[in-house]
Structure 1
Amino acid sequence: MTRQVDRRTLSLQLLPMSVPDTPPVGQAGLATWGAVADTGTAPLPGLGLCPGEVAELLVRLEYQGDQPLPYQLQVSGNFPRSWYNLHTEGSELHSSHATEAVVRFRPEADFFEARQTLAPEQTLPLDFQGEVRAYQLSSAGQPGELMAREPFHLFLRPRSLYPQFLPAVYREVDFIGRFLKIFEQSFEPAVQTFQSLWAYLDPLTAPEALLPFLAQWVGWHNEATWSVAQQRSLIRRAMEIYRWRGTRRGLQLYLHLYTGLSLHDPTRSDLQQPIQIHTASQQGFVLGETDLGPMAILGGGKPLHFRVKLCPARGQFLDETLVRSIIEQEKPAVCTYDLEIVPIEEATHA
């Protein structure tokens, strides 16, 4: 059998951790919930909620009995069950020892946006009523006698910035804050975009959908095989690539941005660098330096010729066709070249 406990030995108090910014209109009409009436002069606890944000209601229990009391807390109300979670400390109350529990509320972030269009006679409820109840647990672990109960209110409001620019007398009116939120939702996205306009014009931070516009702005042609990170780097440094077009430095920079290979690795020798561009040093037939005779050979050299050697890490894929198109675009028209792509391990032993 479950022993009877005097209800007067248990007190329950609710402490809202966030209160409404403005007193909601009609709060006096919400002074009762179920069979419990607010007969005192103090108003019922009111917790302010914002969609997508966490608000806490602290539950404080004080027990004055002479023996430990097994208990259970329950939360009920006309709000969705998915809005809250109850966190308690143990399952027993001890004499002269305050125990605290927390009810964490978090309405869905799209509470207002997900609602369907309301008919003229319909309204969207923003004020809710609830109650915290403390039960004595039976020997079987089931809720038994109701020991204490305390009602509370929930006031769901969107987060609004505009009321802070009004005189205090207007900020106290709940309707004005909700009315200004309509204009805030229309104007604030444009204001935020204007304040961060620089981020939309920088290829490294701009939205992916804006990259084709930025590429066209600097006259850059994006290849379909390039990754988003490659597109951002190449568009951002397009003017620098244009400035050095036709030079070894320009070609090396372009290949570095596309392949991700280092421009220069100080830990490696010149013949082991990730990107190598060497000018051919052979000479062909030069009058005044070659004797004509049976063993003379005409030709044997390539004027204006250079050699490109790329040494990616093993497993890194480089599109040879795209690399050749980059070289053809950057080199002077009269130059010829050879391309060699060798993984770094093979290049080390070469």
Structure 2
Amino acid sequence: MTVSVPGPPLPSPYPLIDHLPAVFAEDRFAQRFTAAFDDVLATLISPIDCVGAYLDPLLAPPDFVRWLADWFGVLLDESWPESAQRAVVAEAVDLFRMRGTMAGLRRHLAVVVDGEVTISESGGTSVSTRPRPDPPADVEHWVRVTVRPRVPGALSEAAVEAVIRAAKPVHITHSLEVVP
């Protein structure tokens, strides 16, 4: 079985001949022998040297960005542009830190939506002396989100709904309006 690698061989950043005693440095057989190992090891060493780029969502290959999203527990919508997917993964920690707040909702929508986002809310807070009470029934909390995408029809309304549901406080009702 023969394995062929497309393209020219990847140069080794750490040639093995440099790590052998000096007596072998001039030996042509030793140079050719270690060069064969260098060709194989270069394909292993290069990704290890570049691991920082693989872990940076702004530099990583697209399929690796989806893998990083799984690390952070981020659900990416395939309809989002690649730049939005990368931005959500890059800011995952901050977005999770602000989750359940209006500031978090604003930030999450700003990262995902390419366009103008307007949020209006009922405001106010509810207080209880009991731990884990049910939300008060006499106060209505709501959020209205209006989105004006830069490119009409390029926005998945279902994806924006999913972002709103994930980022808003749990007990608050919401509505979404997409204005062309």
Q: Same fold (TM over 0.5)?
A: yes
Show the counterpart of 1:303: 140
Once residues 172 and 101 of structure 2 are traced to their aligned partners in structure 1, the CA distance between those partners, rounded to angstroms, is 11
Once residues 241 and 228 of structure 1 are traced to their aligned partners in structure 2, the CA distance between those partners, rounded to angstroms, is 18
Once residues 218 and 178 of structure 1 are traced to their aligned partners in structure 2, the CA distance between those partners, rounded to angstroms, is 45
Counterpart of 2:120 (choices 248, 254, 278) is 278
**Counterparts in 2 of 1:305-344, with a 5 A limit?**
305-315=142-152, 317-343=154-180
Once residues 57 and 11 of structure 2 are traced to their aligned partners in structure 1, the CA distance between those partners, rounded to angstroms, is 32
**Is 2:62 aligned against 1:198?**
no
Show the counterpart of 1:177: 31
Q: Deviations over 1:228-256 (max 9, x none)?
A: 33222212222211111111111111111
**Is 2:114 aligned against 1:260?**
yes
Deviation at 1:215? 1.9
Structure 2 residue matching 1:311: 3-state secondary structure: strand
Show the counterpart of 2:102: 248
Amino acid at match of 1:175: F
Alpha-carbon spacing, 1:174–1:159, altered in 2? closer, same or farther (3 Å): farther
Amino acid at match of 2:121: T
Which structure dedicates a bigger proportion of its chain to helix? Answer: 2
Which structure dedicates a bigger proportion of its chain to strand? Answer: 1
Alpha-carbon spacing, 1:203–1:249, altered in 2? closer, same or farther (3 Å): same
Deviation at 1:159? 5.9
Give the structure with higher Rg (CA).
1
- Where structure 2 has 5 or more consecutive residues not aligned to the other structure, the ranges are 1-5, 124-138
Deviation at 1:167? 5.5
Cα pair 2:114 2:150 within 8 Å, conserved: no
Structure 2 residue matching 1:338: 3-state secondary structure: strand
Structure 1 residue matching 2:149: 3-state secondary structure: coil
Structure 2 residue matching 1:172: 3-state secondary structure: coil
Once residues 37 and 31 of structure 2 are traced to their aligned partners in structure 1, the CA distance between those partners, rounded to angstroms, is 10
Deviating 4+ runs (over 6 angstroms) = none
**Counterparts in 2 of 1:80-99, with a 5 A limit?**
none
Fraction of identical pairs, as percent? 30
Amino acid at match of 1:276: T
Alpha-carbon spacing, 1:194–1:327, altered in 2? closer, same or farther (3 Å): same
Show the counterpart of 2:63: 209
Deviation at 1:182? 1.4
Once residues 216 and 321 of structure 1 are traced to their aligned partners in structure 2, the CA distance between those partners, rounded to angstroms, is 20
Higher relative contact order (CA 8 A, sep 6+): 2
Show the counterpart of 1:188: 42
Deviation at 1:217? 1.5
Q: Deviations over 1:88-135 (max 9, x none)?
A: xxxxxxxxxxxxxxxxxxxx954xx7xxxxxxxxxxxxxxxxxxxxxx
Show the counterpart of 2:89: 235
TM-score normalised by length of structure 1 = 0.40
Structure 1 residue matching 2:111: 3-state secondary structure: helix
**Counterparts in 2 of 1:115-130, with a 5 A limit?**
none
**Is 2:61 aligned against 1:219?**
no
Alpha-carbon spacing, 1:202–1:280, altered in 2? closer, same or farther (3 Å): same
Once residues 75 and 150 of structure 2 are traced to their aligned partners in structure 1, the CA distance between those partners, rounded to angstroms, is 27
Structure 1 residue matching 2:120: 3-state secondary structure: strand
TM-score normalised by length of structure 2 = 0.72
